[in-house]
């Protein structure tokens, strides 16, 4: 099972990117987590550009999402909501609606924040936006990593690359619950079944 992880932050040492990097060792057996790193290359959505020969970064984003069995999206909270770069990527991926890469896609949402109180608005808004795209968002308990610097450590992966280790037992437990739920939803095709009643209304008429 191939799962695509997308960080909503472009910052090099982003807490949300580090959270995603900590997930592969915690994934259930049979789940492989890959990472999409081209979010900053995706242009602002413009319907005039949304044609067969759309910009290459957009094609790469749509293909990566379409070929994945499910998604994990980790987002920071900016001014009480999700970053514009993430909303922009979702806008591109959601079109055209009838063949959207997000249609029926099973998604886990997460947030990492350096403080205590932030993050829940971003999770709420991200879920609302994804529901609007007819993605299947895995329900709680959310992975809301507050005070992230104290709950993550830098490490070296088996391949010698820099990675992150989650040191907080509760967060590790929540990750296990969410990833197991994602795996089960993908196996049961929960997202596809959820959108079947909508298809007559969103598919183009002939």
What residues does each domain of the chain span? 2-202
Q: Has this prediction a pTM greater than 0.75?
A: yes
Closest CA to 93 of 84, 83, 103: 103
Cα 166 from Cα 197, distance rounded (Å): 40
User: What pLDDT score does 204 carry?
Assistant: 63
Query: Which residues in the chain show pLDDT less than 50?
Result: none
35, 64 contact by CB (below 8 A): no
User: What pLDDT score does 205 carry?
Assistant: 54
Closest CA to 184 of 125, 139, 129: 139
2-202: CATH superfamily: Flavodoxin domain (3.40.50.360)
In this predicted model, what pLDDT tens digit does every residue of 96-137 receive, in sequence order? 988 899 999 999 999 999 988 779 999 999 999 999 999 999
DSSP H helices, the chain, are 15-21, 56-67, 84-93, 120-132, 169-187, 190-195, 199-202
Question: What percentage of residues in the chain have a pLDDT greater than 70?
Answer: 98
């Amino acid at each position: 099972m191939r799962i695509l992880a997308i960080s909503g932050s472009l910052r090099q040492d982003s807490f949300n990117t580090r959270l995603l990097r900590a997930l592969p060792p915690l994934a259930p057996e049979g789940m492989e987590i890959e990472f999409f790193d081209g979010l900053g290359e995706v242009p602002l959505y413009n319907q005039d550009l949304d044609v067969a020969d759309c910009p290459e970064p957009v094609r790469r984003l749509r293909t990566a999402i379409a070929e994945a069995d499910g998604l994990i999206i980790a987002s920071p909270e900016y001014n009480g909501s999700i970053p514009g770069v993430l909303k922009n990527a979702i806008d591109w991926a959601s079109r055209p609606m009838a063949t959207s890469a997000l249609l029926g896609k099973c998604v886990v949402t997460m947030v990492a924040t350096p403080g205590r109180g932030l993050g829940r608005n971003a999770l709420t808004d991200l879920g609302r936006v994804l529901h609007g795209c007819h993605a299947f968002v895995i329900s709680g308990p959310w992975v809301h990593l507050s005070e992230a610097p104290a709950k993550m450590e830098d490490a070296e992966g088996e391949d010698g690359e820099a990675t992150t280790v989650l040191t907080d037992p509760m967060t590790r437990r929540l990750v296990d619950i969410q990833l197991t739920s994602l795996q089960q939803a993908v196996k049961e095709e929960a997202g596809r079944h959820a959108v079947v009643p909508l298809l007559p209304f969103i598919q183009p008429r002939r």
